[in-house]
Amino acid sequence: MAQKLDPWKSTEISDYSKLFEEFGIQPFAEVLDALPDPHKYMKRGIVFGHRGYEMIADAIKNKKPFVILDGFMPTGKAHFGHKMVMDQIVWYQKQGGIVVVGMADCEAHAVRGLSWEECRQIGVEEYITSLIALGLQPENTRIYFQSECQPVKDLAFELGTKVNFSEMAAIYGFSGETHLAHMVSVLTQGADILHSQLPEFEGPIPVVVPVGADQDPHIRLTRDIASKMNMFLIERREDQKTGSKYWSVRGKNAPEGALKEIEKLLRDGFGGAGVQTKLSKEHIDIFGNISEAELTELVKNAELAHGGYAFVIPASTYHRFMSGLTGGKMSSSIPDSNIALSEDPKSAAKKIMKAKTGGRESAEEQRELGGEFDKCSVYELYLFHLTDDDNELIQVQKDCTSGNILCGECKKKAADKMEAFLTDLQQKREEAFDKLPLFGIDYVRK
Ligand code: TRP
Ligand code: SF4
């Protein structure tokens, strides 16, 4: 049976490669080489998929502006799963991205029933301080709470003009019992993703949203709504007879006369360069030498002049999840299965010493056969979090498969690393409270 991705139930995904055929997610490997200095999650295949990433790779490489946007639902402790998103945000900032981070308190309130005060406290004390501790800089950064961001709420309402109940029900399994605020929170997430492109923020700009695969339904819906909101659609067409290629601009939502204006702009600007146009009722066909970038720019400006949005369809990346330290899924209802970023370093080390490994029944057997790191949650900690050095990672693999090192020793090393990492992070999280005003966050600690 085809699997369904549910953003609120954290379904376990057994086979990530299926997501390519079933949902049309593209393999990240295809765009990896276009990046000058990819993040370790990308090189290690943890970020495995994308939609529309080419424009982001292009922006990074050619130092063009782009936005990195993410949202966190402030419902509980920030853990190492959230750290994966946070690390990527910090990395994109270093690559020149403008950082926009939303605290999804509307979603937490609507879906998980947390009070606004709880959302605020968890949002700041767990998520925002962790992000700052992991290296987020205040320059070119905007952090907001959904409930306090009027443009997001207004845009969410507007996006609601393009989706009906049947579509929502088909995507999310909503029924007559689903609370309306839950449905609104879906639109709010769409607005999170799109609002940076409003004229009062950056205007139309490439946006990338790194998420876990469970969030893909939101991404697909938002990409779909964005194109429905736009007035014009640019398409590459091919002449049936001659096989020659040309551009076509469709005015699917455009006001009277707007297409005609675009045609005039094309003639005035590119007629001299031999570009020819043919206007029909709903589209203009364009022949001759005009680049995609030139055409896009012209159409964008015309759309903005007519009060349209001219959204650039947002891009996304998808990462795999770590499994829980106790085996199976990482879950906040099983405390030993995960480690919080605010956790006491000693307690985290203990969890690692108890973790499920890919070790054998007995020491003799392990010396003989070696361990199975690909079934080991401790190895996953190395892979995701404990080392940036690929050689060190390979050494862990070798020591494991050769049986040179047994799990006890291997776990001890990981536990020591974790303890050192968290000791440092706790210090930085403390310091982050003093930096909150630099990020425009007004907060009094209780
Ligand atoms: N729904 C996301 C979660 O459960 C949080 C979120 C809200 C989000 N708005 C977003 C994620 C925008 C990415 C982009 O974690
Ligand atoms: Fe895991 Fe290390 Fe044991 Fe190998 S030796 S199974 S990597 S804990």
* CA 403 to ligand 2 center in whole angstroms: 9
* 262 shares a domain with 220: no
* 149 shares a domain with 224: yes
Structural domain contains residue 1:
no
* 286 shares a domain with 210: no
* 122 shares a domain with 47: yes
**Which residue's CA is the nearest one to ligand 1's atom 8?**
71
Which atom, in ligand 2's list, is nearest to the CA of 406? 5
pTM above 0.75, yes or no: yes
* 261 shares a domain with 222: no
* 188 shares a domain with 277: no
Taking only the tens of pLDDT, the chain with its 446 residues reads 455 777 777 556 667 888 888 889 999 999 999 999 999 999 999 999 999 999 999 999 999 999 999 999 999 999 999 999 999 999 999 999 999 999 999 999 999 999 999 999 999 999 999 999 999 999 999 999 999 999 999 999 999 999 999 999 999 999 999 999 999 999 999 999 999 999 999 999 999 999 999 999 999 999 999 999 999 999 999 999 999 999 999 998 899 899 999 999 999 999 999 999 999 999 999 999 999 999 999 999 999 999 999 999 999 999 998 889 998 888 777 889 999 999 999 999 999 999 999 999 999 999 999 999 999 999 999 999 999 999 999 999 999 999 999 999 999 999 999 999 999 999 999 999 999 999 999 999 98
* 219 shares a domain with 100: yes
Whether residue 340 has its Cβ less than 6 Å from ligand 2 = no
* 223 shares a domain with 253: no
Instruction: Look up the CATH number of the domain holding residue 387.
Output: 1.10.240.10
Q: Could you tell me how far CA 275 lies from the centroid of its own chain?
A: 39
* CA 190 to ligand 1 center in whole angstroms: 9
Q: Which of 261, 293, 319 is the last residue of a domain?
A: 319
User: Amino acid identity, residue 78?
Assistant: A
Query: Of 6, 69, 218, which is best to mutate to test ligand 1, by the most ligand atoms within 8 angstroms of its C-beta?
Result: 218
Question: Which residues make beta-bridge pairs with 284?
Answer: 249, 279
Domain span at residue 297 reads: 233-305
Q: Of the candidates 405, 397, 403, 340, which has an alpha carbon nearest to the alpha carbon of residue 370?
A: 403
Q: Could you tell me how far CA 229 lies from the centroid of its own chain?
A: 22
Instruction: Look up the CATH number of the domain holding residue 133.
Output: 3.40.50.620
C-beta atoms surrounding 25 within 10 Å: 23
* 339 shares a domain with 282: no
Q: Of the candidates 213, 245, 277, 257, which has an alpha carbon nearest to the alpha carbon of residue 49?
A: 213
Please report which helix (H) or strand (E) contains residue 283, including its range: strand 283-287
Closest-lying ligand to the alpha carbon of 110? 1
* 161 shares a domain with 270: no
Which atom, in ligand 2's list, is nearest to the CA of 407? 3
Whether residue 358 has its Cβ less than 6 Å from ligand 2 = yes
Instruction: Look up the CATH number of the domain holding residue 257.
Output: 3.30.70
Ligand 1 site: residues with CB under 6 angstroms? 7, 70-73, 102, 104, 107, 189, 192-193, 209, 211, 215
* 239 shares a domain with 170: no
